[in-house]
Amino acid sequence: MGRIADAFARRAKENRKLLIPYLVAGDPDLETSLSVMHDMVRAGADLIELGVPFTDPEAEGPVIQLAHERALVNNVSLRDSIELVRSFRELDKQTPVILMGYLNPLDAMGYETFADSASDAGVDGVLIVNMPPEEGMQLRGALAAKELDVIYLLSPTTTDKRAAFVCSQAGGFVYYVSLKGTTGSATMINFDDVEARVNHLRAFCDVPMVVGFGIKDGTSAARVAVFADGSVVGTAIVNIFGAHQQNPKKIGPLVSELLADMRQQMDAVNS
């Protein structure tokens, strides 16, 4: 059993759900990224989603786009992101880490080279936002050879037929996007509608389903934990990075405070 499957299995036995924070590698620098990753685990994170800096992160709202820009100013690359995971593994052999990003850097590196490097560094899975499963056979093959999971997205507009196909290709878990639009949208989330949608889509998926977009505090994370297998928080965390980029030592404690509150409220609704 890989680290991702093990994390879901352990939490299921405890009747608890996964807390999955997101950060961008190298925002504001690689040293801070590494330190905050460890802070996240100590605060209750179960799996880390590590954004790979890219010039055109089309699924992201302004907050996370700026995080990509801050990392790119430091010339943080896909290789640097992989090496960040390697450094994280020096102290943490258990917490799963997935890379979230866009196809172009992987295409430039080469799928087999990427899969070899990521596996060797301790990466557990990959979510490529702009790689539909129909176009991903070569990449999936390279990743499968190294036992790396490929995570796919479902959305409010995904048809049943499409959901069945996407879920048949997914590994590790499926990520349900709770709203139409980019990350950090100001749109109010109707969590009753999200719950109904997730429960409907479960009929097509044999892997766990987590929910992201619109989760910003303990209350929203706990609401999602009632019906999903995990809560993903991105923009609320990256906001902290942006606000304190000139004083990075403040980032870890503030991120830890946010995640600890989420962890407490998520566990409370499932106790």
Ordered by where they begin, the domains of the chain are 3-269 (3.20.20.70)
Rounded distance between C-alpha atoms, residue 240 and residue 244, angstroms: 6
Least confident stretch, 63-72, 74-83, 174-183, 214-223: 174-183
pLDDT of residue 197: 95
Between 180 and 61, whose confidence is greater? 61
Average pLDDT of the segment spanning 155-175: 95
Whether the per-residue pLDDT at 186 is higher than 70: the answer is no
Is the per-residue pLDDT at 213 higher than 50? yes
Contact between residue 131 and residue 143 where contact means Cβ atoms under 8 Å apart: no
Which tens digit of pLDDT belongs to each residue from 239-256?
Answer: 999 999 999 999 999 999
Tell me which residue has tokens 């890379």.
99
- Give helix 251-269 / helix 218-225 axis angle, nearest 10°: 40
Give the pLDDT mean for 6-26.
97
pLDDT of the residue at 188: 62
Q: At how many degrees (to 10) do helices 218-225 and 191-201 cross?
A: 30
Residue 59 pLDDT exceeds 60: yes
pTM, full prediction? 0.95
What is the spatial distance between Cα 144 and Cα 150, in angstroms, rounded to a whole number? 8
Q: Mean of the pLDDT values across residues 94-108?
A: 96
| Averaged pLDDT for residues 261-269 | 97
How far apart, in whole angstroms, are the C-alpha atoms of residue 27 and residue 6? 29
Q: Across residues 216-227, what is the average pLDDT?
A: 96
Q: 254, 240 in Cβ contact below 8 A?
A: yes
pLDDT above 70 covers a percentage of the chain that reads 96
- Tell me what percent of the residues of the chain surpass a pLDDT of 90: 88
Give the model's pLDDT for residue 184: 44
Mean pLDDT of 197-216: 95
